[in-house]
A and B are shown apart, each in its own frame.
Chain A
Amino acid sequence: MARKPKLLWIQSLTCNGNSHSFFNHSNLFSILSHFELIYFPLIETKYSLEDVLRKKVHSDILIIEGAIKEDLTKGGVNIKELIHHYAKESRYIITAGTCATFGGIFKQSEPEKISGFAFDKENEKEDILSLYEHRLISLPGCPIHPKWLSYVLLMIINRRRIPLDEKNRPQELYGFTVHTGCVRNEYFEWKIDTHGFGHKEGCSFYENGCQGPFTHGSCNKILWNDTSSKTVVGTPCFGCTEPDFPKERLFSTKTNMGIPQKMPLGIPKRAYLTVTGIAKSFKIKRLEKKVIDYEK
């Protein structure tokens, strides 16, 4: 039997949310059984962080969690340099989460010094991409969805080609928008707002700042914690998979003359306005009232 690929998880500037999100995967141990786990920050591994820092281990698949900061050190070792050491020998490099992919939230504290591994927000880091482009898989999300990562790992194990987009994101995950599969889609179709927070009814795109229609990701296709998603529970999508996450004023929709400023992905404004005009000219009684009458 061929030897199992070595899986090495390195943390840079992070909150640990991607580690915890992945640890929550219901099939975690069957997924990990395909690999020799060199290091993962939450569970006992054969090697210690000290071994990783002293470059005593090897990596076939490198998972990077957290943003890259020029001068970040652990135990006296520069982490950026360490990541490149292991990236050079790895067959695949996976940036797990928005911080590792684009820079994310923490970039905002020192924008000049902090970025993603191969992208700085939407900009390509050409020196990095020229070295690693064909081995790089971007998995943005704050945090990463556990099943998006397991999909990539299992595709590698099964020797299947992963179709990627221009930012090295798997198309099968990021070709969709967060809007795809949202349970509030009927309200979106008929342009009915949710009128504040805390309602089963209505769509959050018009007032509450939902970015689902123009955010790349499968949150409503592959549910969170196998049960739900932000938009299902009436929380707006904050666009956490995007290079410019986090934008400003996340709980309100920027509008022009009452029309959301940012259009659903790929939809021309004229098309949107035409459809909206028609949809709004009807009053759909069923959608204007509460779904459930608990008095009955």
Chain B
Amino acid sequence: MIVKKLIEKIEGEAELEFDFQDGVIRNVDIKFNLYRGIEEILKNKAPRDALVITPRVCGICNHAHLIASVGALEDGINRSVKKFEITEKARDIREFTLACELIQNHIKWLYLTIFPNLNRVLNIQESKNYALKAMYVSNTVTKALAIFAGQWPHSSYAVPGGVTCDPTFVEVMQAKSYIEDVIRFFENVVLGIKLEEFLAIKSVTNLDKLKGDFARILFMLGKNGFGKIGQSYDRFIVFGNSKFSMPGKATATTVSGADIKFVQEFEQEGSFAKAVKYKDKFFEAGPLARGIVAKEPVIKSMHKKYKDSTLTRVFARIYESAKLLYVANEILKNLRIMQDSCTLDSKIRLEEFEGIGVAEAARGSLIHKTEIENGKIKDYQIITPTQWNLANGAAAAKAMIGLRSENIASFVFKTFDVCSVCTTH
């Protein structure tokens, strides 16, 4: 029996087709319909124009697209035009603004997706305005982001050689206050304990210290069996190297190196989204992958007890929000504003090269590939994290197989933090 479901409010929509046999989901077809042809639009444009066009792939992770896009240009320039390095200041500012975007994203996912949908699945009536919490964090953390990047969404402040901004300490201190406001919210509302106290937890057995919304969501998920469902391939992949991620791949918790040259993209019948594999295998990208590959003790402990279940996946994303807040605050504490913001001449000619850029977006590794010929973009390819997770047969589909209810399955699907617009682009 085929059951169709229109999934909404996932940065656009998706249509899921559940194939039930004897009351059990045997297969799920995932369809995305909103194709906009960004890669085609980029052809024949000036190389740097990608910094303005690619953020428009996605309203919620636009900044990650900017960072991947500038990375692709810099990789190409470094390999074929001129050797250069960006300053520690420029790198730190980029990592800070990217961290802010991830925090914005994760908190929206927690309060706009997870809480309301879990309540719906479990038939819990509540009149709490979770959206207000999401708005507060998103509003505050993007203020800190905009201090350096000018605006969110859709900044283009990262350019080959660094960043366009040259902040004074007035701006740095202002940004720090915003981050401290978000940390205070996180401690009072999400964790119920101090941030550093939470980040010091290494084992599942110590999670009983948690109070607040995080404790509540873990309790609801645990009590309703989500520690046993939603398991997927148990294979993880990360390409971004930053203060909050290290590159590598993992099978269960065994970590090894990963090389972008083994990433393949291929068409899928009946969907505008392309699938992605690494050496012919599906991998999962995102906060859980980052936690596993970086061997975060508490993520390993969760994984040991609950495998790659829905509970572990949700835990990893909220845990990462806490870590990102800590990292963002540390970056501002040590920011060397006296260094140059941009080390590359803005008039340097971009005539002919190929470059690959990577950023860890909220949902996982984002890859941009640019090919420049005669001073114009000849070809541009974007591989989004959701392509790793949401292709037919990939991590999210696998996590839904074996479940007995399309409503539970849809919730499991949403815990991957689905982004429809990125998947098709």
Interface residues of A (CB under 8 A from B): 11, 13-21, 23-26, 28-29, 41-44, 48-50, 72-75, 105-106, 108-110, 142-143, 196-200, 207-208, 219, 224-235, 238, 240, 246, 248-252, 292, 294
Please determine whether A228 and B146 come into contact, CB atoms closer than 8 angstroms.
yes
Name the B residues within 8 Å of A23 (CB-CB): 108, 134-135, 138
Q: A13-B34, A250-B52, A251-B48 are in contact. Are A24 and B147 (CB under 8 A)?
A: no
Which of the residues A13, A14, A25, A294 comes within 8 Å of B139, measured between beta carbons? A25
Top 9 closest A-B pairs, CB basis? A198-B341, A16-B59, A198-B342, A109-B37, A17-B59, A224-B151, A225-B146, A234-B164, A233-B165
CB of B421 within 8 Å of the partner chain: yes
Which of the residues B12, B145, B149, B347 comes within 8 Å of A16, measured between beta carbons? B12
CB of B49 within 8 Å of the partner chain: yes
Over the window 131-157 of chain B, the binary record of Cβ atoms lying under 8 Å from chain A Cβ atoms (1 yes, 0 no) is: 110110011001101111111111111
A-B contact pairs, 24 of them (CB 8 A): A14-B59, A15-B36, A16-B12, A17-B56, A17-B59, A23-B108, A24-B138, A29-B131, A41-B8, A42-B131, A49-B8, A142-B154, A196-B347, A197-B162, A198-B340, A198-B342, A208-B346, A227-B143, A229-B150, A233-B150, A234-B157, A235-B164, A250-B48, A251-B48
Please determine whether B346 and A196 come into contact, CB atoms closer than 8 angstroms.
yes
Name the A residues within 8 Å of B143 (CB-CB): 225-227
Please determine whether A250 and B108 come into contact, CB atoms closer than 8 angstroms.
no
Q: How far does the alpha carbon of A200 sit from the alpha carbon of B112 in the complex, in Å? A: 38
* Chain A proximity of B102: nearest CB distance (Å): 14
Complex: chain B residue closest to A249, CB-CB: B46
- Tell me how many residue pairs across A and B have CB atoms closer than 8 Å: 202
Q: How far does the alpha carbon of A257 sit from the alpha carbon of B147 in the complex, in Å? A: 36
Complex: chain A residue closest to B343, CB-CB: A198
* Chain A proximity of B410: nearest CB distance (Å): 13
Name the A residues within 8 Å of B34 (CB-CB): 13, 72
Q: How far does the alpha carbon of A18 sit from the alpha carbon of B154 in the complex, in Å? A: 10
Please determine whether B148 and A16 come into contact, CB atoms closer than 8 angstroms.
no
CB of B6 within 8 Å of the partner chain: yes
Q: How far does the alpha carbon of A11 sit from the alpha carbon of B340 in the complex, in Å? A: 42
Please determine whether A224 and B59 come into contact, CB atoms closer than 8 angstroms.
no
Most buried by B among A28, A196, A249: A196
Please determine whether A17 and B135 come into contact, CB atoms closer than 8 angstroms.
no
Please determine whether B159 and A250 come into contact, CB atoms closer than 8 angstroms.
no
Which of the residues B145, B156, B346 comes within 8 Å of A225, measured between beta carbons? B145
Complex: chain A residue closest to B175, CB-CB: A227
Complex: chain B residue closest to A28, CB-CB: B135
Given contacts A197-B159, A230-B150, 9 further A-B contacts (CB under 8 A): A44-B112, A74-B13, A197-B163, A198-B161, A228-B149, A235-B155, A238-B52, A246-B52, A249-B49
Please determine whether A75 and B53 come into contact, CB atoms closer than 8 angstroms.
no
Q: How far does the alpha carbon of A142 sit from the alpha carbon of B55 in the complex, in Å? A: 11
Q: How far does the alpha carbon of A251 sit from the alpha carbon of B159 in the complex, in Å? A: 9
Name the A residues within 8 Å of B153 (CB-CB): 17, 20-21, 143
Q: A105-B53, A249-B49, A250-B52 are in contact. Are A228 and B139 (CB under 8 A)?
A: no
Name the A residues within 8 Å of B9 (CB-CB): 41-42, 49
CB of B60 within 8 Å of the partner chain: yes
CB of B45 within 8 Å of the partner chain: yes
Name the B residues within 8 Å of A233 (CB-CB): 148-150, 157, 164-165
Most buried by A among B8, B46, B56, B138: B56
Interface residues of B (CB under 8 A from A): 6, 8-9, 11-13, 15, 33-34, 36-38, 40-41, 45-46, 48-49, 51-53, 56-60, 62, 90, 108, 112, 116, 129-132, 134-135, 138-139, 142-143, 145-157, 159, 161-166, 168, 174, 337-338, 340-342, 345-347, 421
* Chain B proximity of A11: nearest CB distance (Å): 7
Please determine whether B108 and A29 come into contact, CB atoms closer than 8 angstroms.
no
Please determine whether B341 and A246 come into contact, CB atoms closer than 8 angstroms.
no
Which of the residues B6, B41, B59, B155 comes within 8 Å of A75, measured between beta carbons? B6
Complex: chain A residue closest to B119, CB-CB: A44
Please determine whether A43 and B112 come into contact, CB atoms closer than 8 angstroms.
yes
Name the B residues within 8 Å of A75 (CB-CB): 6, 13, 15
Name the B residues within 8 Å of A198 (CB-CB): 90, 161-166, 340-342
Please determine whether B151 and A225 come into contact, CB atoms closer than 8 angstroms.
yes
Please determine whether A17 and B154 come into contact, CB atoms closer than 8 angstroms.
yes
Which of the residues A19, A44, A48 comes within 8 Å of B131, measured between beta carbons? A44
Q: How far does the alpha carbon of A89 sit from the alpha carbon of B148 in the complex, in Å? A: 43
Complex: chain B residue closest to A67, CB-CB: B36
Please determine whether A24 and B135 come into contact, CB atoms closer than 8 angstroms.
yes
Please determine whether A42 and B108 come into contact, CB atoms closer than 8 angstroms.
yes
* Chain A proximity of B366: nearest CB distance (Å): 15
* Chain A proximity of B172: nearest CB distance (Å): 13
Complex: chain B residue closest to A142, CB-CB: B154
Most buried by B among A41, A207, A208: A41
Name the A residues within 8 Å of B49 (CB-CB): 246, 248-251
Q: How far does the alpha carbon of A229 sit from the alpha carbon of B33 in the complex, in Å? A: 34
Name the A residues within 8 Å of B52 (CB-CB): 238, 246, 250
Complex: chain A residue closest to B120, CB-CB: A44
